[in-house]
Each structure stands twice: as C-alpha cells, then as structure tokens.
C-alpha cells in the first residue's frame, strides 16, 4: 500500500529524536540485563528485554504526523500509600458476593507478588493486596462493541476526521481518519527500524481492522481493536463497568499461581501445547502460524487460566487504568510494606518519549515473541498513548463487588 504523508506536527528532527531515544532505551536496558547477571529458571531474557511494541507504534504515528503537540508531564509522582501486613484487609480470600454477572468471573482478591525478573520496568518484585472483583472472561468482542455503538451512536477516535486546528498548516486532504496497522515486510529487517512493520493507514478502525478494504465478516467473536483509551472508557460507562488497574489485571492473569512467568505456569508450551496466541517464526517478516493464527484469534481459542479467564496472555494487548512509569514498582517497594489496591502513579513518564503521557497495557499480543519483547509474561508491562489504538490493542472490563 502506498502511504500518503500525514499532516506534520513534528519536525523531522523531532522524529529522529523519538526513534533514537526509543532505540537507545531498548538497547541500554538489554545491555543492563546482561551485565547485571540476572537469570530466570523459566525464561531466557533476550537483548530485546527492554523493547516494547509501543516504540514502533509511536514512531509510525509520529512519522505520519498523526498526533497533536504534546504537553510535557512532570517527572515527580506521588507514591501509593503502603500498609503493613497486619493492617491489610485484602489478605483474606473473599467468596463471591452473589451470582456472577453475565460473561464475568469472580476474582477473589488477596495478596500476591507482583513483577517480573525479565524486564527492568517490572522490577522489583513487591507485595500487593487486592479486594475481590468481577472480571470479563474474555476481551470485549466486535459483536459486543457493535451493540454499544448501535445503542449510543458512538464514534471511535480512529473514525474521527483529524481537525485542522490540531494540525495547523496541514493540507486538507491529509486530515482523514485512520489508525496504526501492523504491516510486516516480506524480508528480514533490523529490529530498530520500526517503520518496517508499522503503518498509519487511512480508514483503519475497529470496523476495518487492516484498512478500508477489510471488514468484520466472520469476526464477530474476535476482540475489538483500534480502541483508544477514551473509547474503552465510553464502553465501560455504557456497560456499568470499569477498566482494571494494572495490579488487578496481573493478579487475575496469574490465576493464583505464585511468581510464575506465565498465566498457566512455568513453561511457555507445556507438553508442546500452545497456551496463547503469540508470534512464531522470524519477527517481523515471517509468522509461521504454528499456534493456528497469524493475527488476532477468536476470544477463548486457548485454555482458560485457573480463574476461568481467557487470553490473559497474547491475542491483543489490553488497556488498564494506570499511568505508565518505569520506576513505579521501585517507589512501591521502597515504601517497605504491602500496597493495598494500588491505583498507579499520578503522572506518566516514558524515558524513550519523555513528553508523551502513556497508559499501561497488559497481557501482550499476537505480535509478542522472545525475539522482540516477550511481554506475554504475566508480569510484563506494555504502554501506549491514550489517543492511539492499533490492530493489536483491545480491552476487557471489571466490576466491583456489590
């Protein structure tokens, strides 16, 4: 597909700096891992341990000029108040408060170890206590989202025409709706050349996941994608639910397993069986589809975890309500006690793009591979700009006990 230049809001120099900072942070974090001598009995970290999918997404979007000018966020963050173990009511496992809402599973709450050895921004391990809550068994599907749109006439961020006031000087014919799509090359490329597999595509949206020539025929039970953060909030309000916190998502994903790398245990493929929709082959040019899917899979295509939740690893990344900071876990651990029901930091900072606020993604996606990010690991963290959806980002919701 020939890509038309998007309205520019950053100079070429700025784009270069964004690419450089993202690549630099990934390489530095990978080098830090090896020099530290850290190891894991279950997962061998790769040089890409510091890389995340958003590096490519942000670069593609910035390169197409599809973002408005950003406001630099303050570096300082308020640390979540921690409570001693003896004063942590979330330590007791809670029984279901009543019959399960349709399509939801009860997550009993309790204490758990949160974090991962494999990624610098998921360290150190720290103790968290949560109250029980209900959680959607699957990611929100296209059929479910269509019911919401039909009832409310809601228009997603990706479907909205870009406004001239946000892009002064941009040619009018460039102010068109669209979104970022995984567009793999047909040959091996260097993993720092993000433009080789991400494209800003005119007309891409939840209705047209790969662009205007694609549609949802036969994909009603697939996870809805190209969902920006405000789109997920709008759906949640309509459904009477909310987005999970990062801690709630990780606790639910672990299904009661203590400090395991995967939602199902110690091995990526126990007895040779695929447990999640991830990337096999050579990233990004050759997906061998050994798990049966090249891109997103219908929800529930792989076994559920111990809480009856599907696709808590792989398939599509999922929004949480937390702002992203790579040092947040360090702040919590420094408090020296259990943190109860953490809500995330009060500000966002990403060293690879210091001026861009980001929310935490969890779970990984069909693009996750140990060659690049491997963040389908239970404690892995992703991140994304709230106004940006892609064809590998969706969501699921939770509901408080009542």
* H/E element, 83: strand 82-83
Which residues 6+ apart lie within 8 Å of 337 measured at CB? 82, 83, 84, 85, 127
* H/E element, 202: strand 198-202
3 state SS of 271: helix
pLDDT for position 250: 98
CA atoms in the 13 A half-sphere facing the CB of 314 = 30
Backbone angles phi, psi at 61, to 5 degrees: -65, -45
Backbone angles phi, psi at 361, to 5 degrees: -100, 150
pLDDT for position 58: 63
Quickly list H helices, 70-128.
none
**Per-residue pLDDT tens digits of the chain, which is 402 residues long:** 333 333 333 322 222 222 222 322 332 223 222 223 333 333 444 434 566 666 667 666 655 544 443 333 333 333 344 333 333 444 467 888 899 999 999 999 999 999 999 999 999 999 999 999 999 999 999 999 999 999 999 999 999 988 888 767 777 877 889 999 988 878 888 877 777 878 889 999 999 999 999 999 999 999 999 999 999 999 999 999 999 999 999 999 999 999 999 999 999 999 999 999 999 998 888 899 999 999 999 999 999 999 999 999 999 999 999 999 999 999 999 988 899 999 999 999 999 888 899 999 999 999 988 877 789 999 999 999 999 999 999 999 999 997
Which residues 6+ apart lie within 8 Å of 217 measured at CB? none
**Angle, alpha carbons 131-133-134 (nearest 5°):** 170
3 state SS of 346: coil
DSSP symbol at 164: G
DSSP-assigned states of every residue in 268-311: SSGGG---SB---EETTTEE--TTS-SS---TT-S---TTS---
Instruction: Using DSSP bridges, classify how beta strands 317-323 and 393-394 pair: parallel, antiparallel or unpaired.
Output: parallel
247 closest CA partner among 164, 339, 151: 339
pTM of the full structure = 0.82
How far apart are the C-alpha atoms of 367 and 129, rounded to whole Å? 31
pLDDT for position 76: 35
Backbone angles phi, psi at 367, to 5 degrees: -95, -5
Backbone angles phi, psi at 373, to 5 degrees: -135, -30
């Amino acid at each position: 597909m020939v890509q038309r230049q998007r309205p520019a809001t950053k100079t070429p120099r700025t784009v270069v700096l964004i690419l450089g900072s993202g690549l630099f942070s990934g390489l530095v974090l990978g080098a830090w891992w090896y020099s530290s001598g850290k190891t894991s009995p279950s997962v061998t970290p790769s040089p890409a341990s510091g890389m995340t999918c958003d590096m490519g997404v942000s670069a593609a979007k910035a390169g197409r000029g599809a973002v408005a000018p950003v406001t630099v966020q303050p570096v300082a963050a308020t640390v979540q108040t921690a409570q001693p173990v003896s004063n942590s009511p979330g330590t007791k496992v809670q029984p279901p408060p009543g019959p399960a809402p349709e399509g939801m599973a009860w997550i009993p709450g309790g204490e758990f170890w949160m974090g991962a050895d494999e990624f610098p921004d998921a360290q150190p391990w720290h103790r968290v206590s949560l109250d029980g809550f209900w959680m959607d068994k699957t990611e929100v599907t296209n059929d479910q989202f269509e019911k919401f749109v039909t009832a409310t006439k809601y228009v997603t961020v990706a479907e909205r025409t870009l406004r001239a006031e946000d892009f002064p000087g941009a040619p009018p014919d460039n102010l068109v709706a669209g979104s970022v799509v995984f567009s793999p090359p047909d040959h091996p490329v260097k993993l720092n050349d993000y433009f080789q597999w991400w494209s800003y595509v005119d007309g891409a949206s939840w209705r047209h996941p790969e662009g205007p020539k694609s549609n949802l025929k036969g994909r009603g039970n697939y996870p809805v994608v190209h969902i920006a953060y405000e789109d997920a909030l709008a759906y949640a309000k309509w459904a009477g639910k909310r987005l999970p916190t990062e801690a709630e998502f990780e606790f639910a994903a672990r299904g009661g397993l203590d400090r395991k790398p995967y939602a199902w245990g110690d091995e990526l493929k126990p007895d040779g069986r695929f447990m999640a929709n991830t990337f096999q082959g050579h990233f990004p040019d050759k997906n061998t589809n050994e798990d049966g899917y090249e891109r997103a899979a219908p929800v529930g295509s792989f076994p559920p975890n111990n809480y009856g939740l599907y696709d808590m690893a792989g398939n599509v990344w999922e929004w949480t309500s937390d702002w992203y900071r790579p040092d947040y876990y360090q702040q919590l651990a420094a408090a020296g006690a259990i943190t109860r029901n953490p809500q995330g930091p009060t500000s966002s900072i990403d060293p690879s793009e210091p001026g861009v606020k980001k929310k935490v993604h969890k779970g990984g996606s069909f693009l996750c591979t140990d060659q690049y990010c491997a963040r389908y690991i239970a404690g892995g963290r992703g991140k994304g700009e709230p106004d940006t959806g892609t064809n590998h980002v969706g969501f699921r919701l939770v509901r408080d006990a009542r």
